Amino acid sequence: MSEGFSFRVSASDGMARTGEILTPRGNIRTPAFMPVGTAGTVKAMYADQVHALGSDVVLANTYHLMLRPGAERVAELGGLHKFMQWPHPILTDSGGFQVMSLAKLRKLDESGVTFQSHIDGSTHVLTPERSMEIQQLLGADIQMQFDECVKLPCSTQEAERAMRLSLRWAKCSKIAFGEQQGRALFGIVQGGADETLRIESARALTDMDFHGYAIGGLAVGEPQNVMLAMIDTVIPHLPKGKPHYLMGVGTPDDIVEAVSRGIDMFDCVMPTRAGRHGLAYTRFGRINLRNARHADDPAPLDAESSCPAARDYSRAYLHHLVKSGEILGMMLLTWNNLAYYQELMAGVRAAIAAGRLSDFRDKVRAGWANERPAD
């Protein structure tokens, strides 16, 4: 472990564990859900709101921040923590997924990726070394190796090619990262939906001795059973004493299922994106505020929630805001959704500590099972 960064487990329940990731900027309670602040902002939220909901860490993105406003500019302005008024831990994705999913005219070779910006068509080069440099300029507390992520389903040959390239880039990333006091670098397990490739990737990365390990290349179109099978395959081959991060996941059911298999960290755009599109996440399931049946409903989203957005505003008012395109509607629903996710994680941590994760998982499933089809 780098000085100032460590991971400790305080309780376990089967494969699930709860504990803390210790960093100089604060501790991250695990299992943790990281709100996505792609461009240096969790959309529709103030930074202090995000922290008040229980978020110990947020995710920002190398690809987006290198395009605008630029990593060098952020560094000159005091780093990303100061820039976005978030003094707590930040994890930065390496940019590999966005290069695959967003960039235009992508050209891949052994050294990295040359691509055109999805914003203005300008040409950029992203290599493992440049990704590490950008993340360091941003001041990220947890950095991710540069990797190649392929969409699923894909051929075994394509998954193997991308996995082996990602392993070579992992070595380059680790060398470029060097020794950064108080900061950490995570490796990313790839291999598509192939168990043999996933195991090879996990073992090779473990030999490289990263500070933590992510499972990447999931939540990219595969069904849940495939995702869970890959977690079951990989986890036994990762060090137990280091954090396990499932990238880009996901739904409440995905999260509790993955926690039960040994995952400690999650991120997903789902709660914030849903909030901007009129969808509320609650312990009763998902509620579509665009639905006309909410127009005369005086009830709040959840009268027992600690979040004012869920407790103090009627569904009728939220419906009105959403149908009118009012920004406040996006803000309130995003606030509600992130509150629900952090309450879910707090519940997961308490359940593991009490040895009752299975009961908690059943309770979450039961609440969402009653979700009305019309919503």
Among residues 56, 141, 194, 267, the one annotated as catalytic is 267
How, if at all, do strands 26-30 and 16-23 pair?
antiparallel
| Token representation of residue 135 | 């993340």
Q: Which residues contact 221 (CB under 8 A, 6 or more apart)?
A: 151, 152, 153
**Inter-axis angle of helices 128-138 and 156-177, to 10 degrees?**
50
User: Which one, of 19, 92, 83, 5, lies nearest residue 57 by Cα?
Assistant: 92
Contact predicate 282/301, CB 8 Å: yes
Question: Annotated catalytic, 93?
Answer: yes
User: Which one, of 286, 259, 283, 263, lies nearest residue 363 by Cα?
Assistant: 283
> Residue 75 phi/psi, 5° resolution?
-60, -45
Q: Which residues contact 110 (CB under 8 A, 6 or more apart)?
A: 165, 168
Q: What burial letters (b/e) apply to 321-330, b meaning 16+ CB within 10 Å?
A: bbeeeeeebb
**Which 3 state secondary structure label does DSSP give 282?**
strand
Among residues 13, 56, 93, 302, the one annotated as catalytic is 93
Q: Which helix (H) or strand (E) holds 96?
A: helix 96-101
| Token representation of residue 225 | 């059973």
Gyration radius from the chain CA atoms: 20
Instruction: List the catalytic residues.
Output: 93, 267
